[in-house]
Structure 1
Amino acid sequence: MAWTTMHFAVGMAGATVATGVGCMIMRRGWRWLPLSMTAGGLWAVIPDAPRLFREDFPWLPFAQTLGSKSLELKLHRMGDFFFFHKQLDIQPNEYALHGLLLMLLMYNIAIVVLMLLEYCQRNSPIHRSFRAHEPHVKPAYPRTARAKEYQQPQLALASSAMPPMPPGIAPDAPHFTTHVAPGPPPGSQSMSLEEQFEGGPSVEIAVDPDNPIIGRIGRKNGKTGS
């Protein structure tokens, strides 16, 4: 009759195989491997639960019901459903130490697998390309890297980048120059702003020649544009 540690180890092995196949098919979900292994081990020792309640935890609520021998016999009849529990109980060896060693081995294998996956992810082409463009940012996942790599550009005002003036010298007032083409010569006041919007020629406006901001005011294809 096998001990509980061996049942737990066999349940972990079965859950590891099932989860590994599912992860390879889906190509994701490896981070749930340790949790799946623990769940498989707990599932494998369910037929021994009534004995544990009856002998080790009689003070718990419902311990008499959960630890009844009739429930234990029912669970043992379908023991192979719990990762070959019945077959392990039939054989004469206990395998207590073997089960403990298998548990430790499989947990360490799961840790190594997760570390390798993390290493491969960090050295993927997406992460290398992202680190080349943004060396100071450390992305968590490839989707984050793609989102950071293709950010939309931010617009900034040119007037905010004016160089500071030396101390003792007052800054000059901004110079406004207007060029109208075709139309009246520069300086002419024969055309108002309302007339320009009503269909006049387009106007180029330059503000501060050191830091020009160029725009257009006029009518394009029958619509007012700027």
Structure 2
Amino acid sequence: MAWTTMHFAVGMAGATVATGVGCMIMRRGWRWLPLSMTAGGIWAVIPDMPRLFREDFPWLPFAQTLGSKSLELKLHRMGDIFFFHKQLDMQPHEYALHGLILMLVMYNIAIGVLMLLEYCQRNSPIHRSFRAHQGHVKPAYPRTARAQEYPRPQLTLANNQQPAMPPGMPGAPPMFSTHMGPGPAPGSQNMSLEEQFDGGPSVEIAVDPENPVIGRIGKRDKTGS
């Protein structure tokens, strides 16, 4: 009769084979390998659970039901679905130490496989190319995760360059000045920090009292006082 450690080790081995085949077919999911190994080991020792409840945890509320001998006999009759539990109990050896060693070896193999996959992923051509170009990227503003440092044109309305027009005369078209640089454009002191560092062109529009156009959506103008 094999000990629980050997049943657990056999369950881990069966779950490892099943999970490995599934991961190779799907080409993903290797990170779930240790969890599936533990689940397979627990599944393999289910026929021993009634004896565990009956002998070690008799004070639990459902120990009388879960630890009944009739339930134990039923589980042992169909024990082969629990990773050959019945076949292992039929042989005369205990294999307690062998099962413990197999458990430790398989867990360490799973950890090594995950570390190897992580190493291969970090040293793939895509990740190497990303790290090679990462030196040109650094945070530009606390609310911006990453921003490339290249000059972006920012348009600001040169209001101070427009001469005063007499009342009733149509105003001249607005003049824009282009500012090249990573920082905020001159004359944008009235803008919020989000508008200055949003990454796009910041435009300051002066509202004409005679024609108060405040925004344009598509091809229609919206006016207001």
Give your verdict on TM over 0.5: yes
**Counterpart in 1 of 2:126?**
126
CA distance in 2, matches of 1:22, 1:47: 26
Going from structure 1 to structure 2, the CA distance change for 1:38 and 1:207 (only over 3 Å counts) comes to closer
Instruction: Measure, in 2, the Cα distance between the counterparts of 1:207 and 1:70.
Output: 90
Q: Render the CA deviation track for 1:95-138: whole Å, top value 9, x for unaligned.
A: 0000000000000000000000100111112211111121488x
| Partner-residue secondary structure (3-state), 2:97 | helix
Q: Which has the larger radius of gyration?
A: 1
Alpha-carbon distance in 2 for matches of 1:62, 1:209:
77
In 2, the alpha carbon distance for the partners of 1:12 and 1:111 equals 14
User: Which residue type is aligned with residue 157 of structure 1?
Assistant: Q
Q: CA deviation at 1:25?
A: 0.8
The structural deviation recorded for 1:77 is 0.2
TM-score normalised over the length of structure 2: 0.65
Q: How big is each residue's C-alpha offset from its partner over 1:48-81, in whole Å with a ceiling of 9 and x where there is no partner? A: 0000000111111110110000000000000000
Change (3 A) 1:21 1:149: farther
Q: TM-score by structure 1 length?
A: 0.65
Matches within 5 A, 1:59-208: 59-135=59-135, 157=154, 192-193=170-171, 205=175, 207=177
Is the Cα–Cα contact under 8 Å of residues 153 and 179 in structure 2 kept in the other structure?
no
Deviating beyond 2 angstroms after TM superposition, the runs of 4 or more aligned structure 1 residues are 148-151, 153-159, 173-176, 203-211
The equivalent residue for 1:13 is 13
* Deviation digits for residues 18-55 of structure 1 (CA, Å, limit 9, x no counterpart): 00111111111111100000000000000000000001
Gaps of 5+ in 2: 138-144, 163-168, 186-200, 202-218, 221-225
Task: Report if the CA contact (8 A) 1:174-1:208 is conserved.
Answer: no
Question: Aligned residue for 1:42?
Answer: 42
Q: In percent, how many aligned pairs have the same letter?
A: 77
- Structure 1 unaligned segments of length 5 or more: list them: 138-147, 160-172, 177-190, 197-202, 214-222
SS at match of 1:157: strand
